[in-house]
């Protein structure tokens, strides 16, 4: 499925120290399994998801490539839902998952989050 205008996103970013890389990536592997088990790519049952991805990139000192990496990693979680109710159902389901505490433990590294952000531009109409 492709992201369309008037769908809704959930995006979160963290800047994590490199020494926590294996712990964080184990969490995202667990989160991916949970997403596959609980989210729907078709039908009408929420949460109906269009796209899910987790990406990582080096964090650069002062956002300057010439200064080099800071020794931290930027992780970005991006989810796209068909309706605004999708993310609401996502959070409802997530509260009972054991890994929710692991995500709470990453809060000190979270830099940004947008919840139910409406898609206003996309490659599709």
What is each CA distance from 90 to 3, 16, 48, 67, in whole angstroms? Answer: 18, 24, 9, 39
* Beta-bridge mates of residue 72: 17
Residue 6 falls inside a structural domain? no
Q: Which structural domain, as residue segments, surrounds residue 33?
A: 14-116
Q: Name the domain count of the chain.
A: 1
Which among 106, 13, 84 is positioned nearest to 53, based on CA atoms? 13
**pLDDT score of 27:** 95
Is beta strand 49-60 parallel, antiparallel or unpaired with respect to 69-81? antiparallel
Residue 43 falls inside a structural domain? yes
**pLDDT score of 102:** 84
Encode the chain (125 residues) as per-residue pLDDT tens digits. Answer: 789 999 999 999 999 999 999 999 999 999 999 999 999 999 999 999 999 999 999 999 999 999 999 999 999 999 999 999 999 999 999 988 888 888 888 999 999 999 999 999 999 86
**pLDDT score of 125:** 67
Residue 33 falls inside a structural domain? yes
Residue 121 falls inside a structural domain? no
Residue 7 falls inside a structural domain? no
């Amino acid at each position: 499925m492709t992201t369309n205008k008037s769908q809704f996103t959930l995006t979160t970013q963290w800047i994590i120290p490199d020494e926590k890389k294996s712990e964080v990536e184990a969490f995202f592997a667990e989160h991916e399994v949970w997403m596959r088990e609980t989210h729907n790519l078709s039908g009408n049952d929420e949460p109906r998801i269009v796209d899910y991805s987790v990406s990582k990139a080096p964090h650069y000192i002062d956002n300057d490539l010439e200064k080099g990496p800071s020794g931290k990693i930027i992780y970005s979680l991006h989810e796209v839902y068909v309706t605004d109710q999708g993310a609401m159902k996502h959070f409802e389901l997530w509260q009972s998952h054991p890994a929710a505490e692991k995500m709470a433990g990453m809060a000190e590294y979270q830099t940004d989050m947008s919840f139910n952000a409406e898609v206003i531009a996309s490659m599709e109409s």
